[in-house]
Amino acid sequence: MKDFFVILGGMGTQATESFVHLLNKRTPAKKDQDYLNYCLFNHATVPDRTAYILDTTLDSPVEALTEDIRQLSPLHPSFFVLTCNTAHYFYNELQAQTEIPILHMPRIAVEQVVKSYSHLNRKIRVGLLATTGTVSSGVYHQEMEKHEQTELVMASKEIQEEVMTLIYDDIKAQNYLNEERYQYILKEMMEEEACDVVILGCTELSLMQAETLQTKFPVIDAQSELVDATIERVLSRR
C-alpha cells in the first residue's frame, strides 16, 4: 500500500475506535476508493501515560511507543497520528526516532482556538479538561504560550477530580458515558471559571462529546481537530 498514514492507537481502545469512526464519517467519499489509506496500530498494552508522568518509578510508555515507531517507519507512511493527548508529553522523544512527521494534536487544537475566537479582540479564556497527567505535563501550556491572545484556565481541584472520575472510573473502567457528570464539568468551567471555550484534551472526553446528544457549552475537541487535520493533509497530497 502506498500513500498511507499510521494511527498509533490503543490509548485507550474505545477512544481510538471513536477517532477512526469520525475519520471515516468525515472523509468526503462516494465510493470505496475515496476513503483514506491508513494502518491502525492498536497497542492497548502501552503503560498508562498519566500514571508514569505522576510517578516515574512506574513502567514508562516511551519504550513501547518507540518500538511501534521503529517497527512502522520502514513501511514509509506519509505521517503518524498519535491519538492520545497525554502521550504528547513524549512527543520530542518520539519524533526523534523517525524522520516521518508525527502530527501534534495539542498544537492543532490550540491553533483552532485562536482561529475561532480571535474576533473577541481580547484575551481568550481557554479552559483545559484533561487527565492530571496531561495537565502536569504542560503540553497544552507550552502551546498556549505561543499565542499571546490566549489565557489558560485550569480546572479547580474538585472539578479535576470529577474529570478523572469521568475518564477512568466511568469511561475506561465501565464504558459508561456519564453525560450528567460531563455536563456538570462543562457548566462549572463556563460559569464558575468564566471560560470562553473549553479544550477537550483527552480522547475519552472526545468520545464523551461525540456521544452527547446536546450541550450548550462551546468546546474545541482536540481529537476532532486532529481528524480534520488528518483528512486535510491526505487530500492535499492526492
- Of 6, 62, 69, 84, catalytic: 84
What are the two backbone dihedrals, phi and then psi, of residue 9, each rounded to the nearest 5 degrees?
-120, -165
Q: What angle do CA 37, 45, 154 make, to 5 degrees?
A: 85
195 tagged catalytic: no
Q: DSSP 3-state assignment of 123?
A: coil
In the DSSP assignment, the letter for residue 159 is H
- Of 82, 167, 199, 202, catalytic: 202
- 107-137 b/e with 16+ CB inside 10 Å = b? bbbbbbbbeebeeeeeebbbbbbbbbbbbeb
Reported residue count of the chain is 238
C-alpha cell at 190: 463556563
Active site residues: 84, 202
